[in-house]
Structures are given as C-alpha cells and as structure tokens.
Amino acid sequence: MSNTEEQAGPSVAGSLAHRVPDLGALELLLAVARVGSLGGAARELGITQPAASSRIRSMERQLGVALVDRSPRGSRLTDAGALVTDWARRIVEAAEAFDAGAQALRDRRDSRLRVAASMTIAEYLLPGWLLALRAQRPDTAVSLLAGNSTVVAERLLSGEADLGFVEGLSVPAGLDSVVIAHDRLIVVTAPGHPWGRRGRPVAAEELASTPLILREKGSGTRQVLDAALGGLARPLIELSSTTAVKAAAVGGAGPAVLSELAVGEELAMRRLVRVPVAGVALARDLRAVWPTGYRPAGPARDLLSLTRD
C-alpha cells in the first residue's frame, strides 16, 4: 500500500462515520417502524420521547431526507424512511452478529483455564485454590500441567498455559511474577536413621557431603538447595516428584530435602522426623508467573486473586 493510500484510509473512514448514523439511531428508527409511534419506540428503548425526537431529527439532517411523518395519530415512515429502515436493519443485524461472535470468543477464552505449576504447589496448594475457583466459576474447565519450574516457564512462553506457579529463587526469563506465599525447605528422614536420633543440628558441610534423596535439577526445590550449599549437594537418588522423594525417605533410603508443606502429615504420624540444620538458608518464595507484557485475565485473574487471599 502506498503512503498516499495509507494516509487516505483514515480520512475515508472518518468521513463514512460522519455520513452513516450510529447504531443507536438506527435501532430507534427500526423501533418506530415496528411499534408505529415515536413515544412507543422511546419507551421500548428506555429513552425519553424528546430525546427520541431529537435523535430522529439529527439523523434526518445527517442524511438530508425526511424519515418520519409525525401526527397526532402517531408516526409513520416516509417512503425514504422505509427504504432507510431496510438498510438499517441489515446494519443492525450485522452489528448483532459481530457482537455475538465477539462474545463467543470471550466465552471460549473464559470457559477454560490452563495452569502450569511446579510439583509442590501442584500437589499441596493448587487443589484448594481450584476448589474455590470452581465455586466462583462452575462452568470453567481447568487443565493442570505439572512439572518443575523450568517446565512451567516453557509452557507459559510457548502459549500452552495461561498462568503458572513456581517455587525457585528466581523468576525465569520472559516472565513477570508476584509472590503469593512463603515456604521453607526442611531436612527429613525416617525415625530409624542416625540423623533422626541425634541431638545436635547437621552443619552445612555435613549436609553437603551426605548423599541425599533429591528432586531433579530444574526443580525449584533443587535450585534452593543448590544455592544454599554452593552447588555441592550430593544426590543419593534424584526423583521427579515430591511424593516420590517423600516415599523414598519414609522407606528408609536416606535423608531428603522437602517443602514443609509436603510433610506435615508424615511428621505428625512420625513416619518422618525433622532434622535440625545449622547455617543453611532454605527459605523461598512461591510465585505466580505469566508472560511478560500480559496481565492475567478472566479465570486466570480470578485464580490469582484466590491465591493471594
């Protein structure tokens, strides 16, 4: 397209907007044709009769033709008015079809929610949030993609998820975030392990030199532990879910590092015991994340609000 055409486009559209009555005026004309009086049309559309008369006169001036003959017995379309009404009906029907299509797009967007969450959040926090969301939006279909924090970022950046949750120390590149909760990693082991019976805390050096049951690299849990130990954590076993790590620890395979959120029941039932640790910072933030430049909307916005409540 040439510069001349590009420059001409807005002026042509602007002049068309000045020559064609707005939808409200066209709907009023159709109502006059339908009920046979200006007053009845005004009542149907919820406006005053003087406002309706003013709008008809303005439309007549705009088009340069008389549209309605007014008399004590009512209002009757002129021949020109009848012709304009036929054209108006097509425009209003097209506008209604446009609105219906746009609404369908909104409904399709708002009827589904794709959530990507790292494992601890997916297993221990998200179910409660989704139950609360169901109470607010019973018709919203929710799909959950669970994986480590790296996977969550990939899902969001590829457009496969609308909202994500991660638990590492940093926000993956290309994502915006907000802190929704705080968490702490703890060292646990089966009651029969030597660490389960010792009276003094485990120092950072001993923790780093002891083979541990760990989440895989890329997980938020592993990221926090590696940062706390300077990358020196030694895996005895690497597993891809919090539940699997917990089961291995309960079975006596060795000490494990897990979220406090994940082991409340096992600690209460004495299937696991907490091992005190000295000189190791294992606190972390839990975050909701989404692609940079896009604020969560629709059910994603509602879910985000629930997590912060």
Q: Is the pLDDT of residue 249 over 90?
A: yes
pLDDT (average), residues 237-254: 91
For residues 189 and 253, what is the distance between their CA atoms, to the nearest angstrom?
Answer: 9
Neighbours of 229 (CB within 10 A): 19
Cα dist from 14 to 7, 9, 20, whole Å: 12, 9, 10
| Average pLDDT over the chain, rounded to an integer | 86
Residue 194: give its domain's CATH number: 3.40.190.290
Domain boundary pick from 58, 88, 108: 108
166 burial (CB, 10 Å; 0-12 / 13-18 / 19+) is buried
Q: Are residues 252 and 158 in the same domain?
A: yes
Verify that 136 and 285 share a domain, yes or no: yes
Nearest to 89 by CA among 29, 161, 132, 171: 29
Please indicate, yes or no, whether residues 19 and 135 belong to a single structural domain of this protein: no
Angle at 17 between CA 16 and CA 18, to 5 degrees: 90
Judge if 138 and 85 occupy the same domain: no
Q: Are 299 and 113 in contact (CB under 8 A)?
A: yes
Beta strands, E only, the chain: 68-71, 74-77, 112-117, 141-146, 163-166, 175-189, 202-203, 211-215, 234-239, 256-259, 273-275, 277-278, 283-291
pLDDT for the residue 27: 92
**Residue 173 · residue 143 · CB < 8 Å:** no
Examine the domain organization and report whether 104 and 116 are in the same domain: no
| pLDDT classification of 3: cutoffs 50, 70, 90 | very low
Which of the listed residues 108, 142, 163 is the one where a domain comes to its end?
108
pLDDT-derived band at 107 (thresholds 50, 70, 90) equals: low
User: Residue 252 has which token pair?
Assistant: 């006596």
Buried b (16+ CB within 10 A) or exposed e, 277-304: beebebebbbbbbbbeeeebebbbebbb
C-alpha angle with apex 131: 130 to 136, nearest 5 degrees?
Answer: 90
**Residue 107: C-alpha distances to residues 102, 138, 215 (Å):** 9, 13, 39
Phi, psi of 57 (to 5 degrees): -60, -40
Render pLDDT for 115-124 as a digit per residue (tens, 0 to 9).
999 888 888 8
- The secondary structure of 225-275 as a DSSP string is HHHHTTT--EEEEEESSHHHHHHHHHTTS--EEEEGGGSHHHHHTTSSEEE
Contact status, residue 304 vs residue 288, Cβ threshold 8 Å: yes
47: confidence class by pLDDT, cuts 50, 70, 90: very high
Both 37 and 160 in one domain: the answer is no
69 and 205 both lie in a single domain:
no
The residue range of the domain holding 81 is 3-108
Total number of domains in the chain:
2
The answer to whether residues 218 and 167 belong to one domain is yes
User: Based on the domain organization, do 93 and 138 belong to the same domain?
Assistant: no
Residues 6+ apart with CB under 8 A from 300: 113, 162, 163, 290
Q: What residues pair up with 285 in beta bridges, in sequence order?
A: 182
67 and 144 together in one domain: no
Q: How far apart are CA 188 and CA 32, in angstroms?
A: 79
Q: What is the pLDDT of residue 72?
A: 74
CB 169 within 8 A of CB 286: no
Residue finishing a domain among 108, 138, 166: 108
Same domain as 230, residue 116: yes
pLDDT tens readout for residues 125-136: 888 899 899 898
Residue 167 near residue 260, CB atoms below 8 Å = no
